[in-house]
Structure 1
Amino acid sequence: MVELEKVRSSNKQVSTVLPPGLVAVYVGATSGIGELAMKALVKHSVQPRVYFVGRSQKAADRITSELKALNSAGEYIFIQADISLITGVDKVCQQIKARETAINLLVQSQGSMDMSTITSEKLRFSISLVHYSRARFIANLLPLIQESTGIRRVVSVLAGTKEGNVHVDDIQGWNIPLMSMRGHLATLVTLTMAHFAEHAPTVSFVHDFPGHVRSNFGREMKGVLKALGKVYQVVSPLFSTPGEEVGERHLFYSTSNRYPARSRNPNVVVPLPIGVPVAKGFDGKLGSGVYSVDGGGDECGPSVVALLGDLCQKGTVEEVWKDVAGEFIRITGVEAI
């Protein structure tokens, strides 16, 4: 584990190492981990311009007020959207691209445990949010991230280090047992990042598991799962990671040279704290550009490295992307806007 004090010491350098005017996009940031991560960035950066995407205008109004209190010199733009729809993602990205020529940071934490709803685009609601929506945001915004003269990074919050067997013949998980879904989805997220990293070696990709965090878990569940969600809400304060720590750790994932891009230049990142090494990527190689990390910021272990390595050798990255691209073209006619 990366000690919390070292995380904090790194984050304190954000305001002096990174140039003013950092541009960040937070998706799924009107509650939970996304909100905590965004507030940590705003607290530590100079004149940030932050776009945050979610469904609730009421929550956004509250958060905007709190962001201004944390850093009055920043600019905070809320975009209300249904990002379970690929066309909804495109509308958000069109608004951002109309205003920006470069982006430093994309952080995504959108998700749902609603496994029964089907979107109007004929995608399973939960899988659309966790997998297809996240992939579409990266596909649409990656050219702007590559244009940045400073830090270039994508962070996805889900289940890093929890990767498991992936079912390329059932990407949406219609026939996958619930207990196997986390491993399936985690692998989809990591392998999708690996696809993008091949085309953008100066961008760093981090897939993290946040640990146990108080959130709206269970809000959209139905039946027995909804009851389990309510139980979780009651007992989670007993073992959850404090919100302040969650925010600090996600700022560390977003800015530290512990997670560098495969090609270092021209990235400007916060230097490593004393005693903290560069992380190994999901392929087991130091600083290889795509990282699967746990709640303490440590990289995935040998068994996960072996699993993902075997999948890469079998061409699973290409199979996963073929499915993603096929759905994008079916829904919108293009792989990206």
Structure 2
Amino acid sequence: MVNLSTVQASNASLPKTLFTRNGPVGVFVGATNGIGRASLLAFAKYTQQPRLYFIGRSQTAADEVLGQLKDVNAGGQYEFVKADASLLRNVDEICQSIQAKETRLDILFQSQGTLDFSSETSEKLPLIMALGYYSKMRFIANLLPLLQRSSTPRVVVVLAGTKEGPVNPNDIPGKKVKPWQARGHLCSMMTLTMERFAQSAPSVSFVHSYPGFVRTSLDQSIKGVTGVVMRSIFSIVNMFATHNWISLEETGDRHVFLSTAPRYAAKERSAGLSSEGGGVDGPKAVVASNGQIGAGVYTVDEFCESGDASVQQVLQRLRENRTDQKIWEHLNDVFKRVTGKSSIH
């Protein structure tokens, strides 16, 4: 476990260790509520003169966030982009707008998601997959050139890192996946897709984060009777649960750490780092999703630790039977069907 004091010390050192000349440029998707909002505010708090874009659907919530951002760091520049990020065509428009304004991007942080299992978008995608997977991967595909122009680029995706599971190669979209297997299925898709992006962009590092038990309003997105039943079950389970809740403040601090700490370096930049190095954030390189030190893609738990051997074995089996290739092909098929192209460049 990475102690919270270590996390906070590393974050506090950022103006002197990472963003020493120019303030960071960041894009935060799903940042008007919950984990995304906490992480955006924490990132603004710990950095000097940040230039941050944040995407969400609610102008009212955004106005509150803008006020909080100015309170924690009046020296930053903040721009809200009102959009429904579940639609890939909207993602393209957002990315084109950012590309027109910026020459580099240091951090792409994504926490958009829903537990609405029944709805479908106007682009004929299940809403839960559109937000949880397709839009996240579309942002990466579109913004990768800007990230590659940064000296310390990083992508952080919040879902359930270290919870990867089997994927049926004949059902990549997960239409027939049993509910209790859905998380592992989607998590493996996420990590393996980021590995493919890392192959073409070895100067960029990718982190798949599991935030742990954080009190948010996500369960309110479950619709109808199912939602009522599930929220009741959650309440009962939580009354007797032994897990420790993680506060929004702590999850914000930990996600700043995941977004900046050198231990999660890109493959191209990790060669000179030691797995036993010193520094305020401890070891300088950690085990990546493929089991290698500093390989550039990291699946991490709520305490910022890499997935263990069992996680690596699940992913290795999926690589060996070429499920990773089928996931990649499926993603590009969806991109081309919906938008007509694999990315906006």
Q: 1:284-303 CA distances to partner (integer Å, 9 max, x unpaired)?
A: 11111000000001111111
Deviates more, 1:299-308 or 1:17-26: 17-26
Instruction: Provide the alpha-carbon RMSD of the alignment.
Output: 2.0
- Map 1:219-234; keep pairs closer than 5 Å: 219-222=220-223, 223-229=225-231, 232=234
Distance 1:102 1:96 in 2: 10
Q: Any conservation in 1 of the 2:153–2:205 contact (CA below 8 Å)?
A: yes
Q: Any conservation in 2 of the 1:33–1:246 contact (CA below 8 Å)?
A: yes
Establish whether residue 298 from structure 1 lines up as the match of residue 305 from structure 2: yes
Structure 2 letter corresponding to 1:54? G
Number of aligned residue pairs: give it: 334
Distance 2:338 2:196 in 1: 21
Distance 2:289 2:199 in 1: 14
1:134 corresponds, among 133, 136, 146, to: 136
Establish whether residue 197 from structure 1 lines up as the match of residue 198 from structure 2: yes
Name the SS of the counterpart of 1:219 in structure 2. helix
Establish whether residue 244 from structure 1 lines up as the match of residue 245 from structure 2: no
Structure 2 letter corresponding to 1:298? E
Q: 1:215 is matched with which residue?
A: 216
Q: 1:283 is matched with which residue?
A: 290
Q: 1:270-324 CA distances to partner (integer Å, 9 max, x unpaired)?
A: x843643521001111111000000001111111101101211222222111001
Unaligned runs of 5+ residues in structure 2 are 273-277
Cα distance change, pair 57–230 in 1 and its aligned pair in 2 (3 A): farther
Deviates more, 1:223-232 or 1:81-90: 223-232
Distance 1:115 1:58 in 2: 26
Q: 2:72 is matched with which residue?
A: 70
Distance 1:282 1:120 in 2: 34
Establish whether residue 101 from structure 1 lines up as the match of residue 103 from structure 2: yes
Q: CA deviation at 1:244?
A: 1.4
Distance 2:11 2:271 in 1: 20
Q: Any conservation in 2 of the 1:217–1:229 contact (CA below 8 Å)?
A: no
Q: Any conservation in 1 of the 2:30–2:112 contact (CA below 8 Å)?
A: yes
Q: Any conservation in 2 of the 1:48–1:75 contact (CA below 8 Å)?
A: yes
Sequence identity (%):
43
Q: CA deviation at 1:265?
A: 7.8
Q: Any conservation in 2 of the 1:260–1:289 contact (CA below 8 Å)?
A: yes
Q: 2:339 is matched with which residue?
A: 332
2:125 corresponds, among 123, 126, 136, to: 123
The TM-score with structure 1 as length reference comes to 0.94
Distance 1:229 1:258 in 2: 38
Cα distance change, pair 65–177 in 1 and its aligned pair in 2 (3 A): same
Distance 1:74 1:292 in 2: 30
